[in-house]
Structure 1
């Protein structure tokens, strides 16, 4: 049991902050496991071809490709990731888009985003809040960087479903969905809530838009 707990703790640590060779393996798992949820989140952006979009906590980088496919030559995609291993991986995966200026990568955190106020036309962040200690600050930052007509799409696994996974016992913050909605609203966003699919225990999509002032 101790060995299994140690293994699950290691997996949890890598999921929250992928590093080294293990992080490369985690990146592949993240791209497979998050593909449908990231796709559903990107679809909710409804962004124009000249939009400035961001994937916060892009992990394996699959969402960056979807966002790049949604913007034209005049658009730009930003990726923000706390893991230097994942930033380096994305740099190797998308060299042409980086060279052309269509993709800009940042080593940073959701609680301190590297953007000016109102800079982004759309934001997705999927399965990132489990590792965030200050939910209020994270939501304030998402709201701060959003342009007036922006969509901010937060993808969150169903807490009850996530609680059945053995690695989530090791440091994962499985917040009730109403708590996350309240934090987004408290940051000045109007929020729509829907499931990512009709499957039992499907992840949640929280779509925020800045409230008119």
Structure 2
């Protein structure tokens, strides 16, 4: 699920610990508000990652942690492309299904409840995969990356977008259960999973923190091939 969120009423009301829990697994009365907040805050980052992934015609694309699938339509611009989102939150799966139906995308897009550590998918079934601001919630990098490598066909692409560790440590909620990783550590984990790193982008923008102050955000985008 994408994070960190913009400063909204709900994010200001929640303690850093409770906000972290919602970012990890949106649920209950705050789930939809959290999702919309994250979509607004991370729109530019998601679009940058989608542009780097560059889904082509008739390609099958997998997104890990899509939340309410706000960016599925952006991944489906290419003719004949198909989309699958794997999401841990049942509340987000329900919201995503409603969004895809409203957008008329249900014939090309699907959302399933699941986890990156165990993808219920056959080998070499995907042409591209995307995970934006989700690796903080993986217990280890090895298992999800090996699973992603397994389901990607030879030559397929994976884009990971995640916050720079030094930047993330300035966010109070990141102290509660977030696994932060240096860029070099993620690159090494990709290679260890059998993926070849072929591109990197630095993404910087200014946003508003949960306390209303301006913050300078710093993210990394890594592109790898199977």
TM-score, with normalisation over the residues of structure 1?
A: 0.89
Of the structure 1 ranges 8-17 and 137-146, higher mean CA displacement relative to structure 2 is found in 137-146
Q: What SS is found at the alignment partner of 2:127?
A: strand
**4+ residue runs over 2 A deviation:** 196-202
Q: What SS is found at the alignment partner of 2:129?
A: strand
The correspondence for 2:33, drawn from 21, 25, 34, is 25
Residues 58 and 78, structure 2, Cα contact 8 Å, conserved in 1:
yes
Structure 1 residue 201: Cα displacement: 5.0
Q: Give, in whole Å, the separation in 1 of the partners of 2:217 and 2:100.
A: 34
Q: Give, in whole Å, the separation in 2 of the partners of 1:120 and 1:183.
A: 20
Counterpart position of 1:161: 167
The alignment covers a number of residue pairs equal to 202
More helix per residue: 1 or 2?
1
Structure 2 runs not aligned, ≥5 long? 1-11, 207-215
Counterpart position of 1:193: 200
Write the mapping of 1:53-202 to structure 2, written as runs, cut at 5 A.
53-68=61-76, 70-72=77-79, 74-95=80-101, 96-98=104-106, 100=107, 102-191=108-197, 192-197=199-204, 202=218
Instruction: Calculate the aligned-residue CA RMSD, in Å.
Output: 1.7
Q: What SS is found at the alignment partner of 1:133?
A: coil
Residues 88 and 113, structure 2, Cα contact 8 Å, conserved in 1:
yes
Q: Give, in whole Å, the separation in 1 of the partners of 2:115 and 2:38.
A: 18
Residues 70 and 96, structure 2, Cα contact 8 Å, conserved in 1:
no
C-alpha spacing 1:201/1:91, structure 2 compared with 1 (3 Å): closer
More strand per residue: 1 or 2?
2
TM-score, with normalisation over the residues of structure 2?
A: 0.84
Q: Give, in whole Å, the separation in 2 of the partners of 1:182 and 1:37.
A: 23
Residues 111 and 137, structure 1, Cα contact 8 Å, conserved in 2:
yes
Q: 1:62-97: per-residue Cα shift (whole Å, max 9, x none)? A: 2212112x232x321101100111100011111132
